[in-house]
Amino acid sequence: MDWLTFVSKLIDSLAWPLVALVLGLVFRRKLLDLIPAIRKFKAGPLEAEFELAAKEIRVSAAEVSVMSKPTVGGELEAQREEGAKEIVESLLSARNDPAGMILEGWSKVDGELFRLGHQLGDIADPLTNTTKVYESVMSSGVLPFETTRLVRELRDLRNKVAHVKVVPTSDAAQDYVLAVDRVIKLIHNYRKNLPNYRPTI
């Protein structure tokens, strides 16, 4: 093989990788913008369905929150600010650990369900199994229908993540966190109107 043939073969073999590199550098910003869309496409139908369900429950929770007004007193401004800080932190955490934030979000709902069950006198032992707490409160019929539906949907989504049936996106986790915040407030505001209300147990 002579020198010219060698150079020609070298140029042939390096041409496409160099073109790809140059195009990658030139269109770097646009390619970075496409990465989230590629991840969503790659995620599959279950993840897309989960994301849609999380978005729908967030919207439903917002609508139910608007319709229901707390009837006993108003929250203190300091509590509102603290709640706002907590939700912002949760939303930021959902970017890094979507599954973890969904599981943590459900544990907050579960805690509020426990407080409701305790207030009703159905749950006395703080070590009561979380499934028993859920079943007791949900079967009692004390929560309004829409709130009960939201709690069930949140639990179903949580179970899909807990049993690794789906890997949630950060967007889905953020929608879930926002829905959890609203549902907890709905349950809490409902508890205020019941006998034996105490802010903390």
Domain boundaries, position 3: 1-43
Give yes or no: residues 39 and 55 share one domain: no
Alpha-carbon distance values, 200 to 108, 116, 139 (Å)? 13, 11, 23
Residue 172 in any domain: the answer is yes
pLDDT tens digits, 80-120: 545 566 666 666 666 778 888 889 989 999 989 888 888 88
Give yes or no: residues 33 and 95 share one domain: no
Give yes or no: residues 34 and 129 share one domain: no
Residue 166 in any domain: the answer is yes
Give yes or no: residues 123 and 32 share one domain: no
Give yes or no: residues 50 and 137 share one domain: yes
Give yes or no: residues 170 and 89 share one domain: yes
Give yes or no: residues 32 and 130 share one domain: no
Residue 201 in any domain: the answer is no
pLDDT at position 91: 64
Quick one: average pLDDT of 31-56? 67
Give yes or no: residues 59 and 143 share one domain: yes
Distance CA 94, CA 180 (A): 13
Residue 157 in any domain: the answer is yes
pLDDT tens digits, 3-41: 778 777 777 777 777 777 777 777 777 766 666 555 554
Domain count, the chain: 2
Angle at which helix 145-162 crosses helix 98-120, to 10 degrees, equals 140
Residue 197 in any domain: the answer is no
Distance CA 160, CA 106 (A): 12
pLDDT grade for 76, boundaries at 50, 70 and 90: very low
Give yes or no: residues 130 and 174 share one domain: yes
Quick one: average pLDDT of 172-182? 89
Give yes or no: residues 91 and 145 share one domain: yes
Residue 200 in any domain: the answer is no
Secondary element (H or E) of residue 131 = helix 130-140
Residue 64 in any domain: the answer is yes
Give yes or no: residues 1 and 84 share one domain: no
pLDDT grade for 126, boundaries at 50, 70 and 90: confident
pLDDT at position 140: 85
pLDDT at position 159: 93
pLDDT at position 20: 76
Residue 198 in any domain: the answer is no
pTM of the full predicted structure? Answer: 0.67
pLDDT at position 201: 46
Give yes or no: residues 137 and 84 share one domain: yes
pLDDT at position 94: 63
Residues, the chain: 201
